[in-house]
Amino acid sequence: MSIDAHPGKAPLAPPAPRAWGSLVADRQTSQVLRLVLADRSVSFPIGELKRWEHIAGGQESLIIQTSREIVTVEGQHLTEVRQALDDVRLCELRSPATKATARTGPVVRRITIEPA
């Protein structure tokens, strides 16, 4: 059992940032999805995202089809990313330039963008 020094008050320290991306605040919807790659950033208006498919397994894939391009996200534990897309809360997805940490949650290993 732990003792809460200030019950009902929010903690002073904000939660740790997500290594894989960013979400908009609760009860808000994203207007743009920004993909941050090692060498550039690419933004898509949310209205251009036509469909996405989550392929589960050891090496998971999330395939996002836009009107002109196909975005492939490779990694592990991508269910949270897919859920953020479903809820229109995903605003930024990052492909890490460094090795993934031992944190729990999604791990984005690679993002590729190809013509449709």
Q: Summarize the confidence of residues 84-99 as an average pLDDT.
A: 87
Q: Is 107 a domain residue?
A: yes
CA dist 56 and 59 (Å) reads 7
* Whether residue 17 has pLDDT greater than 80: no
pLDDT one-digit tens code per residue, 23-78: 999 899 999 999 999 999 999 999 999 999 999 988 999 999 999 999 999 999 99
User: Tokens 């995202």 — which residue?
Assistant: 49
Q: Is 6 a domain residue?
A: no
Q: Is 98 a domain residue?
A: yes
Reported pTM: 0.82
Tokens coding 67: 């009107």
Domain that residue 98 falls in: 21-115
Instruction: Check residue 13 and give its pLDDT.
Output: 72
Number of domains in the chain: 1
* Whether residue 5 has pLDDT greater than 70: no
Instruction: Check residue 2 and give its pLDDT.
Output: 54
